[in-house]
Every structure is written in structure tokens, then in C-alpha cells.
Amino acid sequence: MKEPEVTLELAVQHGLSEEEYEKICRLLGGRTPTYSELGVFSVMWSEHCSYKNSLAMLRTLPREGKVLLARPGEENAGLIDIGDGLAVAFKIESHNHPSAVEPYQGAATGVGGIMRDVFAMGARPIAALDSLRFGSLENNRVKYLFDGVVRGIGDYGNCLGIPTVAGEVYFDEAYTGNPLVNAMAVGLVKHDQVAKAIAAGVGNPVFIFGSSTGRDGIHGATFASEEISKESEERRSNVQVGDPFTEKMIMEATLELIKKGCVVGVQDMGAAGITSSASETAAKGGVGIELDLDKVPLREQGMIPYEILLSESQERMLVIGKKGREQEIIDTCEKWDLNRSVFGVVTDDRRFRVKWHGETVVNIPVNSLAAGESAPVYERETKKPQYIDELHSFDIHSVPQPENYNNVLEKLLASPTIAGKAWVYEQYDTMVRTNTMILPGGDAAVVRIKKTKKALAMKTDCNGRFVYLNPRRGAQIAVAEAARNVACTGAVPLAITNCLNFGNPLKPESYWQFKEAVLGMGDACRVLNTPITGGNVSFYNENPHGAIYPTPVIGMIGLLDNADLATSSFFRQEGDAVYLLGENKGEIGGSEYLSVLHNRVAGDAPSIDMEFERKLQDFLIQAIHERLIHSAHDTAEGGLAVALAECCFGSKNKKYGADIEIDFADLRQDFLLFGEDQSRVIVSCSRENQAASEKLAKSAGMPFTYIGRVGGDTLTINDLILLRVAELEKTYTGAIPEMMNR
């Protein structure tokens, strides 16, 4: 089959601008690219692969720290040191666009892809997390997406044997047309067994192994770099199809090859498939690479080079082997019943060269494809959206006070964003590998590291509504809450990965949101000393009805040197004293209370003092390490009243009520109870430890207010709320199943 002739019009159809097409011709020495070369440039210069609209801002983020073992972008995933010769590899990525048109496979392949990023570094995955956003569950289309995404995540992770231990799910009309599906993986590796995503050693063989290559997923990277439209449903071929059982074999083979030391580099074939994995490893190694597509195992007849190079068929790996050890690689692949082929060689000319049927169809300088090098980098025009000042001017005090506080609490607990997510995580195997110490439903998951005393705490977090109202402060809050959730378990927050979900970067208002959020994220990470290890940018999360809320999801990793200190979020003992760590301010801007009870998204995001936040977390961790605290739970969506209710019914073994008495001072009662003020944690401690806890708080200068005692079977708050815990829990746990069954 003869390839089509390349024209400017065809280049534009591939998502390239006229300026970019002219630059491509210059990089090729003045000649017109072949059709295959056009395809290569179109995917490698897409936002998804090149970060051309985000890289300038990402470079402003804090990327240094004593725990970092790899700089962001250097490897497949972030890598941090946790002592004793062990490292944690972790990363989060989006699969939003595929999940919008094919939710089951979109979510499943998102899990598969992020797992490969982790085990390509030699790290065995030990946990998965997810961060999900959907529209209203009153919408049948949203129910279909929600159901498909959850089943896709569960089926893939369960088959792979990796526990899904934590995450978050938000529901808001802003995500109706564009669900967000962000998947995170965490793995462990010894320092001396870390593999790099690099090509080196002239003459070394290039292997492809795993599934055969088909036409699924072609132009998935460019599909992810444009807005969702009515035509998106017709592009299901851009969505990959996953096979978790093959992935399991690939994982074991990859880890075995790395352990044997017979490979130089390993790279997952994710977005842009063969093209990205081969060209990126060559660019990182400062070498060239030559491929022969006739040697690629195919599962469809008549595939042309363009299709083979751009296919995003799942469960495939690229390996740079060591010359002379080819047979070891072949034997290992045979052991795990995997397709494998030597289809290339490392060269010294720094060219990405591809042959097919004896002809050279691609001959490109490798650096011209590399993000941040010859690939374009833009800093787009910004404009503060008009809506922000309008929403900030809303008179919060015009909101009427409730007549029945019991009803308000029950309505908030039934709100899908707040309600229990057991319908989601009970579809996941959360205990496989038997390391999970704190299960989904708590502030953060805790996973034991076998053969050590250590454990890892992990969490994903972001309130997109806060970022919508105040991008810089909202991003600070996302980092702070992720760290606070980890600190509530007793773990020290170490580092983050991020998945930045935004609208069209070519729209000044959207790019302003992105820029401000990145600045806020950087500010918070510097104060908390949690450097950024890498992540993902997902732009173009828009549809004809508008953009999503800007949603910079934070994936936080923390370390417990002593796993025995792992602290849960729920009350654990009758008679314990209940304290509020932090201060009440009564801020309801962007709150669930304002949205659910008054149908308004308005006001400003809650205020946050990052220095105070850091001191609060330091105190909390110290108190847990001194064994003064039985439970710790941060206040988030729904505010103080919701957090107290969650403390009452978190335990599966025994439910505890609480008798709470709060000094409202000059704050409105509803604002204090349901406002989402930052830097607050509810803690419980025994009578015997009250004095020591108060003394420690005083020495640290931390507001630490006694508010009540654990006991009984009701939650009582002053004379405003009196409800049986069993009824509250029934409302909380039953809300999502009931809505899904309507």
C-alpha cells in the first residue's frame, strides 16, 4: 500500500499548526516528511507526549529534595529513597478521554499503563489508587460511566493481583461531559535493581515483547490532546483494549530480566507506542536507534508503518538488551509465554530510523522528537476569568440559617461526594498480598513493607471546586490535605506526584487557571518539603457544554518507620476525650453545604496558612509517635459535623457515639459546623493521655481544644444535632447504592 502524500492540510488534520509543520520540514533538512514521519511528529509533538503547553510552567515546580533518586521526567516514574537500600517508585496518570467514550476499557488500560510505568523501573507494584470525577448520579449516562470505570479498575487490578487501597470520588455537574479517571501505582525496588528508560551501547539489540500489535489505540495520544465532541463516540478505535493476564506475565518477565542484569534499559509502550518508547530512550541515551517493522509481531493483516508505529496496543514493552545476552531475554520471554522479537539495534548517529519492506520510511533526528528539546514549548496567553470576581462578591451571609440541623447533616451524608464509597472499593481486592493495614475509607491507606518495620501511607486528593474559585489557593489546599491525610496515619509526608486536569490551554482563561494552580502547588510543596517527582498533564478536558473544574490531583506518599504506629480515623475506645486540633473560622465558600443545601457554588476558597499547616502536621505526627492519640481524622467536605459523624462509624467492629459541646463564639452555627475550614483535625485520646497531649500542644503552640467524649450510640452536638449513629451510618453507606439502583 502506497502512503498518502503529505501536505500542510494533512498536517493540520493531524493536530499540527502551520508553524509546527514548517519547523518539521526544516528539521528534516528542507524536505517534506513521509506519511509515517508525519504520524510520528504528530504524536510526539502532541500535548500528551511533548507537554508543549505545560513544560514551561512545570519547570517552576520544586524538583529537588534529599529523598529524590530521580528528577521528574528522567524515568518512567518518580523514585524516592525510604532508607535501608529501598526505594519507592510511584506515578499518577490520566485516562480521561478514553474513559469518556469507553469507560470500562478506558479505566482498565489506565491501570495497566501506570503499572507498567512502575515495574519498568524494576519496582514490584504493591498498591494502586484512583482519583475519579463524574457528573450527577441523577444522570443515566453518568451512571453508565461510573459503573464502567469502577468495574474496569477493579477487574484489571484484581486480575493483576495488586490491591487498590485508596482514592477519592467526586460528583459535580462540571464533570458531566468529561469524567476524570486518574490512576496511581506504587512499587518497591532495591536501589541496586533500579532500571532506567534509556538506550545505550552501540550494537545492543532492541526487543519488543508482550502482546502483538494491532490497530487499537492509533492516535490515542492526539485523541487525548483535543476536546471531547459529538464525534468522540465515533473514535472508539482510539481506545485501547487491555489484557491483565498478559500484563501479569509481562510484569514477572520484566522484573526477572532486570534482576538478571541482561538489559540496559526498559520502557513501557504507552502513549504513541513504539514511536515514543524507542525515540525517547534513544534521546535520553544520546544515541540513535534503528527499527525493522517487518519483525514486529502483528495481529492484523495489512498494517502499514504509520499504523504499526502509532498503535497503542496494550501490554507491550521495549527492552534494550545487552549484546551477547539475547538468548537469556528470549528464554525468559518463553518461560512467561510471551511474544518477543529483536526488531532493532542501537546506533551512534542520533537518528530515529525505521525500515519496512527494505525501505527507510522514517529518518528523523531523535532530539527533534524529545520533549523540551526540538519539540515546541509554549507559554500561552493568560486572562483571569470574569466569573472569579463575580463569585467572590457573593454575600455569604445572605444564606438563610437552617431550621433543622439534623436534616442538614443527613442530607450532607447522603451527598454522593461525601457518602461512603464502599460501593466502589468493595469491587476492588484491597487485601491481596496481605500488606494493607488501613483499608479504603480512612484518611489515607497504609501498606506494610514486609521484612521491615516500615509502612507506606498514600493518598490522592483535590477539591476541584476550590481550585475553580481560587486556582492558586485551591492547589495549595490540595497539597495540604493530601499531606494532612497522610499525617493523620502517623506517616511523614515525603513527596508527591500529580495529575493536572484542565481545559483547553489555548483559551487564556483556562491557561490562567493552570498557571495559577501550578504556582500554588509549588508554594505548598516548598513549605511542606514534599518535592514533586513527576506526573501527568491532561488538557482539553472540555466538551460543547464547557470545561471541567480545574483539577490538579495530588498523589502523596508518606513513610512510617514503625508500622505499629499506624493510626486510623475512627473512634476506638469508649470514654476517650475528643479534641479539635486547629481553629474554626466558619468559611463556607465552595463548600458542599453551600452546594447541596443552597444550590450555590460561590464565595472564595477557604483560607490556608501553609506555615501553620506544616506545624500542625508536625505536631500531629509527634503526638502519634509518642502514642498519645488513638485516632485522627481531618475535616474536609461537609466540615466539622460530617467529620465527627465519620469518626463514629468508621470501625467495622464497634460503633461509638460522641457527646460534643462546641463554643461557637461569634461564628454562625451552620458556618462553623459545615464550613470547610482548613488545617483542622479531630483527634481522640485516652483520659490518661489528656494532660500529656495538652502539654505537647501547648509547647508546640497548637490550638488543641477539648470538645467532648466518645460514648453511647448517638452523636450529639450541643443542642443542635442529636442522631443515632446507626441511622447516620445507614444514610451514609446507602446513598450511592440507592442512586445506582434507581
Q: Where in the sequence numbering do the catalytic residues fall?
A: 48, 95
Pick from 554, 607, 558: nearest CA to 582: 607
Cα(227)–Cα(230) distance, integer angstroms: 10
The alpha carbon of 5 is separated from its chain's Cα centroid by a whole number of angstroms, namely 40
- Report how far apart, in Å, the C-alpha atoms of 240 and of each of 113, 280, 569 are: 10, 21, 39
Return the bridge partners of 706, or none: 579
Cα(487)–Cα(108) distance, integer angstroms: 30
- Residue by residue, DSSP assigns 72-115 as TTTSSSEEEEEETTEEEEEEEEE-HHHHHHSHHHHHHHHHHHHH
Cα(155)–Cα(158) distance, integer angstroms: 5
Cα(737)–Cα(160) distance, integer angstroms: 26
Cα(90)–Cα(534) distance, integer angstroms: 9
Cα(36)–Cα(307) distance, integer angstroms: 8
Length of the chain: 742
Contacts of 155 (CB under 8 A, 6+ apart): 104, 108, 244
Cα(570)–Cα(420) distance, integer angstroms: 14
Q: Are 684 and 577 in contact (CB under 8 A)?
A: yes
Which grid cell sits at 262?
A: 541482561
CA atoms within 13 A on the CB side of 36: 25
Beta strands 124-134; 164-171: pairing state? parallel
Which grid cell sits at 135?
A: 457528573
Helix, strand, coil proportions of the chain in percent (round to 5)? 40, 25, 40
Pick from 556, 509, 560, 514: nearest CA to 535: 556
Cα(203)–Cα(232) distance, integer angstroms: 43
Which grid cell sits at 206?
A: 532492541
For 490: left if phi > 0, alpha if psi spans -120 to 50, otherwise beta; the answer is left
The one-letter code for the residue type at 518 is V
Residue with cell 524507542: 278
Q: Are 584 and 640 in contact (CB under 8 A)?
A: yes
Which grid cell sits at 637?
A: 467536605
Residue with cell 468559611: 587
